[in-house]
Structure 1
Amino acid sequence: MNVAALAAGGFIGTVLRYALGEAIPSASNGFPLGTLIINLLGCLFLGWLFTVTAERWRLRPEIRLGLGTGMTGAFTTFSTFSVQTAGLLQQGEWAAAVLYVLASIAGGLLLTYAGIRLARPRRKEGTA
């Protein structure tokens, strides 16, 4: 059952990544805006998913695996990030490469945290 959940999630994530990547054009200097947005959205979603399923919702483990590892793992892509960064460096686009790395790391951490915060219920003022 786990393999089927991973395969189904992976298929969905791959199709979503391809469609979104095609919809977002790269900058004229080759800055990979599509991959950056895709990876940041994946960080937001995964932070939210793992928090909400640990603290509020009870999903079957294979569904969580399919959505988290399967879908989000196929949607986001570290290898493409790495190849695109190397490509920017080889083209002499050092500033774009540094911006891409910093935006990916800092943005990924911030959006993961935002996903965690979104998954947690808000407490009313004056309550503990």
Structure 2
Amino acid sequence: MSQALLYTYIALGGALGACLRYFLSSGIDSWFGKTMPFGTLTVNVLGSFSLALVYGFIERQELAESPYRALIGVGLLGAFTTFSTFSIETLTLLENGLWIKAVANILLNVTACLLAAWLAIELLKG
């Protein structure tokens, strides 16, 4: 498969994933209210489950060289939620017995991302 075609699959999947994320999270939030971010939670849980399924098919060599791997795994689910990637990477570390790295990955991602978001807000306050 050419690089141009590969990036086309990723772009198409990404557009679908972003639209699906907005549709689902805003729908859940309007249904349950915004007192708790249930829309984001739903997207993260569904995305993590879905990417784990894709990962399983890749491991079984059913999607190893398929264009659907780029379309679904990278594009659609990558735009749907990056939390799914974080989840699979952390599980892979755990499965390989790299407990310290897995815990460090969790702590660094949560702490660094919250700190970066806080810093951006503080910078905008001026």
Report the TM range for the smaller structure's normalisation: 0.5 to 0.7
Q: Is 1:47 the equivalent of 2:52?
A: yes
Q: Which amino acid is the alignment partner of residue 16 of structure 2?
A: I
The equivalent of 1:35 in structure 2 is: 40
How far 1:77 moved relative to its partner? 4.5
CA distance in 1, matches of 2:63, 2:38: 35
Structure 1 stretches of at least 4 aligned residues deviating more than 6 Å after TM superposition: none
CA distance in 2, matches of 1:51, 1:29: 34
How far 1:30 moved relative to its partner? 3.3
Pairwise mapping of residues 51-62 of structure 1 onto structure 2 (< 5 A)?
Answer: 51-55=56-60, 57-58=62-63, 60-62=65-67
1:42-65 superposed Cα distances (whole Å, 9 cap, x missing partner)? 000001111123215245443201
Question: Gaps spanning 5+ residues in structure 2: where?
Answer: 84-109, 119-126
The equivalent of 1:20 in structure 2 is: 24
Q: Which amino acid is the alignment partner of residue 34 of structure 1?
A: G
Q: Is 1:2 the equivalent of 2:18?
A: no
CA contact (8 A) 2:54 2:73 kept: yes
Pairwise mapping of residues 1-128 of structure 1 onto structure 2 (< 5 A)?
Answer: 1-25=5-29, 30-55=35-60, 57-58=62-63, 60-77=65-82
Give the aligned length.
84
Call closer, same or farther: CA 1:29–1:11 in 2, change over 3 Å.
closer
Call closer, same or farther: CA 1:49–1:8 in 2, change over 3 Å.
same
Call closer, same or farther: CA 1:52–1:40 in 2, change over 3 Å.
same
Question: Gaps spanning 5+ residues in structure 1: where?
Answer: 88-128
Q: Which amino acid is the alignment partner of residue 32 of structure 1?
A: P
